[in-house]
Amino acid sequence: MDIPALSLHPHDHYAPELRDRMLEKLHASMAEATGYRLLTPDQLRSLAEMESPEDPVLSLYLQLSPDRRIGGTWRHFFTSMADNTLKLIADRHRRRIVEGEFDRIEEALTNELPALGHGVAFFSCEQRALWQRIALSVPLPDGAYLGTRPYVRPLVRTRDEHDRFILARLSQGISRFFVSHIGLVEEVFQVKAQSLRHVLTDRTPRDDVHAAASEAMQREAHILAHAAELVMTMFEGRYLLMAGSLELRSAVAARMPSDVRHRVGAEFRIEAHAGPAEIAAAAEPVQRAVEEREEVATVRRLLDAGPRGSAWGKEATFDALREGRVMVLAVDDTVDRPGARCPNCGSLWEEEAPACPTCGNTGVEIVGDVVEPAIEEALRQKAAIEIVRSGAARELLTQIGPMAALLRW
């Protein structure tokens, strides 16, 4: 797809009109939906809020391990899911509609698999103009689901406060901005600057050439700093990692608002015109270090708060979620446990009970993984989520986990 780009002249200054041009380009980037996209928080919220009472919504998750990518092996798993889903639909008209949705997804996969990542999620309902293709940064179980809403519960495993980065490859020719989950990148914006060679002429005094070049670089750095801030805001990036010359990176960082500057991580090195796979590989070590540091800090906060200021273990965490007290939820990413959920009040339990202990409802349902609805409920309560993946943080969490929560009160 075409990357939205802003073209600059060396004499351009940052001004409200230029900010409006950048916003217009960024909105175009967010609206672009022809290819596989990384999941954004806003996209997850929109999917969770959508409802289609009459027309079925098909949600499909497919793992794309290296062996499945070879020779179209993914097709076997896709066909199996499609057949198993369609044979359960008795109504012929409804079956034809759903079959059409599967055909649309299969055609998209045949034409192009996402270049990076561990899998893909599709959300499709042609009658409601729903068509979302999301590249997954973590492997999620295969599954096809029909319902009146998109089935987004597996996606909550991919939402983490500290794994969403903005990457900036800066140069005085073309600066490129990317949204990134660890191992995945998506280019969303470019700033193209006209070379000084087209502006400085033989009539420019020799002594003025260096000064003019330095002044142009400072103006460009001011614009790039605000571009980084806008990309961070619009794509809800948690951290900014920059590549490029030390001089330009320093000039850009110096012109950032303090709240953005404090979220700038260590540099990564990559060629100016590198592709997504190369950029993902170059940034990953720095991203892993940031993620581990933040995960350890979160778990230490839970330990320091003690059992009075935090909830330790699943049952205590479920109690806190039921009371709306969770401010930060930390979960070991390897945890996958069955449990029970009350569809009436939303209470979660480790063990099945004949009736909900909270509201007395006798229709308690068994869930295959009680962790996912716990994360889903925490997101609904606007709690921060920490999916613990690093070895150091996971070892600390074993003292109180595998699930714990920092409380609001």
**Which of 212, 244, 274 is the endpoint of a domain?**
274
Q: Is residue 185 within a helix (H) or strand (E), and if so which, with residue range?
A: strand 184-193
Closest listed residue to residue 108, CA positions, set 67, 153, 62, 154: 62
Closest listed residue to residue 71, CA positions, set 105, 103, 35, 113: 113
Q: Which two tokens mark 204?
A: 């420019």
Is residue 365 a part of any domain in this protein? yes
Contact assessment for residue 373 and residue 341, using Cβ atoms and an 8 Å cutoff: yes
Give CA–CA dist 1/275, Å, rounded. Answer: 14
CA distances, 120 to each of 77, 283, 306, 346 (Å)? 13, 22, 39, 29
Backbone angles phi, psi at 57, to 5 degrees: -100, 125
What contacts 24+ positions apart, CB below 8 Å, involve 195-203?
196/10, 196/172, 199/9, 199/10, 199/11
What is the residue-level pLDDT of the chain in tens, covering all 409 positions? 678 999 987 778 899 999 999 999 888 877 665 578 888 877 888 888 899 999 999 999 999 999 999 999 999 999 999 999 999 999 999 999 999 999 999 999 999 999 888 999 999 999 999 999 999 988 899 999 999 999 988 888 787 766 789 999 999 889 999 999 888 899 999 999 876 555 555 455 555 656 666 787 888 999 999 999 999 998 889 999 999 999 999 999 999 999 999 999 999 999 999 998 999 999 999 999 999 999 999 999 999 999 899 999 999 999 999 999 999 999 998 888 899 999 899 899 988 888 998 899 998 999 888 998 998 889 888 898 999 999 999 999 999 989 999 999 9
Is residue 123 a part of any domain in this protein? yes
Is residue 262 a part of any domain in this protein? yes
Q: Which two tokens mark 49?
A: 């809020």
Is residue 66 a part of any domain in this protein? yes
Q: Which amino acid is at 316?
A: A
Contact assessment for residue 187 and residue 3, using Cβ atoms and an 8 Å cutoff: yes
Task: Look at residue 33 in the predicted model and tell me its pLDDT.
Answer: 53
CATH number at residue 325: 3.30.1330.30
Do 270 and 180 lie in one domain? The reply is yes
Q: Is residue 340 within a helix (H) or strand (E), and if so which, with residue range?
A: strand 339-341
Task: Look at residue 203 in the predicted model and tell me its pLDDT.
Answer: 53
Cβ-based neighbour number of residue 41 at 10 Å: 12
Do 136 and 211 lie in one domain? The reply is no
Task: Look at residue 321 in the predicted model and tell me its pLDDT.
Answer: 96
Do 124 and 220 lie in one domain? The reply is no
Do 180 and 134 lie in one domain? The reply is no
Contact assessment for residue 403 and residue 313, using Cβ atoms and an 8 Å cutoff: yes
CATH number at residue 226: 3.30.420.60
**pTM: predicted TM-score of the whole model, two decimal places:** 0.83
Burial 212-226 (b: 16+ CB within 10 A, else e): beeebbebbbbbbbb
Do 170 and 24 lie in one domain? The reply is yes
CATH number at residue 56: 3.30.960.10
Cβ-based neighbour number of residue 249 at 10 Å: 18
Closest listed residue to residue 39, CA positions, set 48, 50, 51, 28: 48
Closest listed residue to residue 369, CA positions, set 343, 334, 344, 393: 334
Is residue 67 a part of any domain in this protein? yes
Task: Look at residue 2 in the predicted model and tell me its pLDDT.
Answer: 79
Q: Which amino acid is at 279?
A: I
Is residue 95 a part of any domain in this protein? yes
Do 388 and 371 lie in one domain? The reply is yes
Do 268 and 202 lie in one domain? The reply is yes
Is residue 283 a part of any domain in this protein? no
Task: Look at residue 212 in the predicted model and tell me its pLDDT.
Answer: 64
- Assign 265 to helix, strand or coil: coil
Do 60 and 94 lie in one domain? The reply is yes
Do 308 and 375 lie in one domain? The reply is yes
Check whether the bond before 402 is cis (ω within 30° of 0): yes
Q: Which domain holds residue 331?
A: 289-407
**Which of 242, 274, 306 is the endpoint of a domain?**
274
Do 97 and 241 lie in one domain? The reply is no
Do 137 and 165 lie in one domain? The reply is no
The dihedral formed by the CA atoms of 221, 224, 226 and 227, expressed in degrees to the nearest 10:
180
Task: Look at residue 201 in the predicted model and tell me its pLDDT.
Answer: 53
Do 209 and 113 lie in one domain? The reply is no
168 Cβ neighbours under 8 A, 6+ residues apart: 175, 176, 177, 178, 224, 228, 231, 240, 241, 242, 243, 244, 252
Q: Which two tokens mark 62?
A: 């497919």
- Number of domains into which the chain is organized: 3
Give CA–CA dist 331/24, Å, rounded. Answer: 38
Is residue 377 a part of any domain in this protein? yes
Give CA–CA dist 242/283, Å, rounded. Answer: 9
